[in-house]
Amino acid sequence: MLLEIPRILEQPQIDKIRELVDRAGFVDGRLTAGSAAAQVKRNQEMRQEPDAMRTLVRIVLSALGHNATFKAAALPLRMADPIVARYEPGMAYGEHVDDPIMGSAGPRFRTDVSMTVFLNPPESYDGGELVIRTTYGEKRVKLAAGDAVIYPSRSLHGVAPVTRGERLVVLTWIQSYVRDPERRELLYELHLAREALLGERPGEAITGQVDRSYVNLLRMWAEL
């Protein structure tokens, strides 16, 4: 499932992240890439200065923890510390799949869901679209500041070359309670139906049936 989520971050949170970036500076993004991805990765990432990283993690985790759409769609169990990535003119990220296992300082975890949160307006730079291959063809994503997109980490994807301005994004990866992307998509669609019925027809038998189906499918498919 490829899902765009509006307003993951509000403007004050974006402004605070940009302050952190200005203080910490950037390093070559290939330092955090796997051996295959490093061959096609041309970007910069915020230096992992401890105080700045703690603040970044707090901002992003708080925002995601309050976003009902993200929680219902990703079903997050574990999450990577976020990264801020910058693309300037001439920079791009060729087609790749994300590393299947992440985590070095703490427990390692499986990457099921990848997430990009855009930090600057799309009109402030040319190029820089997130390009994802899907079952239905190529999808190019370039969203408003604060908006996010999630998609299966196994997807072949990349970032188109930036030709003007600066592309600034927050990236993170999630291990989901539900490993299989098709099952996650089915659960998300059932969740939407369940929430609508609970709001509009709370006492009806059909609402109880959908509610039980969602809960028991999640119980059946969840991995802890």
Element (H, E) at 170: strand 167-176
pLDDT of residue 99: 92
Give CA–CA dist 180/104, Å, rounded: 24
Say which amino acid occupies 209: Q
**42 phi and psi angles, rounded to 5 deg:** -135, 85
Write the class of the CATH domain 3-176.
mainly beta
Asked if residue 169 lies in contact with residue 38, where contact means CB atoms within 8 angstroms, the answer is no
Give CA–CA dist 184/66, Å, rounded: 20
pLDDT of residue 162: 98
8-state DSSP, 80: P
Asked if residue 156 lies in contact with residue 95, where contact means CB atoms within 8 angstroms, the answer is yes
Nearest Cα neighbor of 119 from 33, 19, 26 is: 19
pLDDT of residue 3: 98
Nearest Cα neighbor of 33 from 76, 87, 83, 89 is: 83
Q: Which residue has the tokens 């970044």?
A: 56
Give CA–CA dist 177/174, Å, rounded: 10
Give CA–CA dist 171/185, Å, rounded: 21
Model confidence, pTM: 0.95
In degrees, rounded to 5, the angle at the alpha carbon of residue 76 between the alpha carbons of residues 51 and 193 is 140
Give CA–CA dist 168/125, Å, rounded: 10
Element (H, E) at 26: strand 26-28
Give CA–CA dist 4/70, Å, rounded: 10
| The length of the chain, given as a count of residues | 224
pLDDT of residue 155: 96
pLDDT by residue for the chain (224 residues), tens only, comes to: 999 999 999 999 999 999 999 999 999 998 877 777 788 999 999 999 999 999 999 999 999 999 999 999 999 999 999 999 999 999 999 999 999 999 876 789 999 999 999 999 999 999 999 999 998 899 999 999 999 999 999 999 999 999 999 999 999 999 999 999 999 999 999 999 999 999 999 999 999 999 999 999 999 999 99
User: Chain-centre distance of CA 206, in angstroms?
Assistant: 34
Name the residue ranges covered by the structural domains of the chain. Answer: 3-176, 181-221
Element (H, E) at 24: helix 11-24
